[in-house]
Amino acid sequence: MTSAELILALVTLQRAAELVISSRNTSKLRARGAIEVAPGHYPLIVAVHAAWLISLWIFGHDRPLNIVALLIYVVLQGVRIWVMWTLGARWTTRIIILPGEPLVRCGPYRLLPHPNYAVVAGEIALLPLVLGLAWLSLIFTVLNAAVLAIRIRAENRALEQTMMARGA
């Protein structure tokens, strides 16, 4: 197994584990009365992320590592954990709104309105650079930006409606 394959295996396992966590959290939130908002774009997000990971396996499995880019990527994983920890059982890969619950404004949410999306944007740009694949970084950064534009608009609308319903 090459170093690149080890990194890609770890990222693949991480993503799979996150899908399990997200699914569990979504089920628990729905049981508490939460609703999913704007699910139509979700398959597009999944497709972009799956294509990104598959492309990395195809083109990067035997590439040498850029250690500086890898270290920055590892730092991003710390921020990802901080985001997930802050949201706790409310962290999902979907837009799930739990009526009556206040918005999370602590942790990284004090600094950015959508810190998870900033992390994802960084990851999508950096991991190909770890493997010396600048062209993949560019392609998937553009694709991710397009789906995030859709996603963030939908999430902001849902959050605004939630805040208006609460009278905040």
Check residue 122 and give its pLDDT: 98
CA atoms within 13 Å, Cβ hemisphere of 120: 24
Tell me which residue range forms the domain holding 125.
3-166
Question: What's the pTM?
Answer: 0.92
Check residue 42 and give its pLDDT: 96
Check residue 94 and give its pLDDT: 97
Check residue 103 and give its pLDDT: 87
- Mean pLDDT, the chain cut into blocks of 10 residues (168 residues total): 98 98 98 95 97 98 98 98 97 93 92 95 98 98 97 91 68
Measured in whole angstroms, the distance separating CA 100 from the mean position of its chain's CA atoms is 25
Separation of alpha carbons 44 and 151, rounded Å: 10
Check residue 125 and give its pLDDT: 98
* HEC profile of 129-151: HHCCCHHHHHHHHHHHHHHHHHH
What total number of domains does the chain contain?
Answer: 1
Any idea what the CATH number is for the domain that residue 48 is in?
1.20.120.1630
